[in-house]
Amino acid sequence: MERILVIGANGQIGNELVTALALQHGADNVIAADLGPRNPFAAAHYEAIDVLDRRLVARIIDTYGITQVYQLAALLSVTGEQAPLKAWSLNMDGLLNILEIARERNAAGKPLRVFWPSSIAAFGPGTPQDNTPQQTVMDPTTIYGISKLAGERLCQYYFSKYDVDVRSIRYPGIISYKSPPGGGTTDYAIAIFHAALRGEPYECYLSADTALPMIYMPDAIRATIALMDASADRIAVRSSYNVAGLSFNPAQLADAIGRQRSGFAITYAPDARQEIADTWPHSLDDSVARSDWNWQPRIALAALVTDMLANVAVVPQEVGQAA
């Protein structure tokens, strides 16, 4: 029986991941954890945890007999640029704490499977932007991307040196109707739906032709759980896997919304986030993930737009945190 700890459960991915894991493993076997007050999770247990407090995290893992940890706590691309030292500390020391706990448990015969999310932000201007391969040049330009690249190397190191069963996905932009837009460069793809449903034009902070890889949240959750459920002998990549859902630019997304929401209009006013987006891939080659553990996306753009328009809870302004 698996006992699972999700750190960063109040975030965009964590909130929905906790629910999916509770459905799969039972609410009593999933522990949601974060700094703030408990969100309405399906999990039976919630713990207030700072991932930077290694002793507390280790105690929680021992208390609940945890067998899997999802370490999701991080500062994202835009918020990270506003507080680079804080971003580095949280993103790197949080991961190191979990890897060290896993190393110690391995030595004690109590193995701990670890999931940690990387990002397309780990790529950079020297990376091939179209159909970006699994192994390629990685020269990130943001503190978030730099921490993700360093984290990938740490994951590989702890697997090679200490046999820690660590697994990772390079998430593209994640779109979800359950979380408001906030601290990510790709968040226009959420904010645009809020504007459309308010009957307002949307002013996009990226240019019309800025294509980026994206993934709808249900596919992102499926990929994450499928990777963690795969047998260890099928996981050939211990740094991080490319995983793709779909790729589009703001003009294509606006056109797809306009076909279902007549009268919707978009304008463009690129800001500092454009500089970040320009260093990221346009599309990803995820053939290694497809081969190793049978990854396959299910949700295309038209279905994504239909579902978002049907389910977005409109907020008056861009708040919160997204990936």
What residues are annotated to the active site? 144
Secondary structure letter of residue 233 according to DSSP: G
As a whole number of angstroms, the distance between CA 266 and CA 264 comes to 7
| CA neighbor of 243 nearest in space, from 270, 258, 265, 221 | 221
Paired residues of 114 in beta bridges: 69, 166
Tokens of 260: 């279902």
Half-sphere CA count of 280, side-chain side, radius 13 A: 30
Question: Which ranges in the chain belong to alpha helices (H)?
Answer: 12-25, 54-64, 77-82, 84-88, 94-107, 143-162, 188-197, 217-229, 250-260, 272-277, 287-293, 301-311
Tokens 């799969």, residue? 24
As a whole number of angstroms, the distance between CA 198 and CA 131 comes to 35
Q: Is 69 helix (H, G, I), strand (E, B) or coil?
A: strand
How many helices (H) and strands (E) are present in the chain, helices listed first? Answer: 12, 12
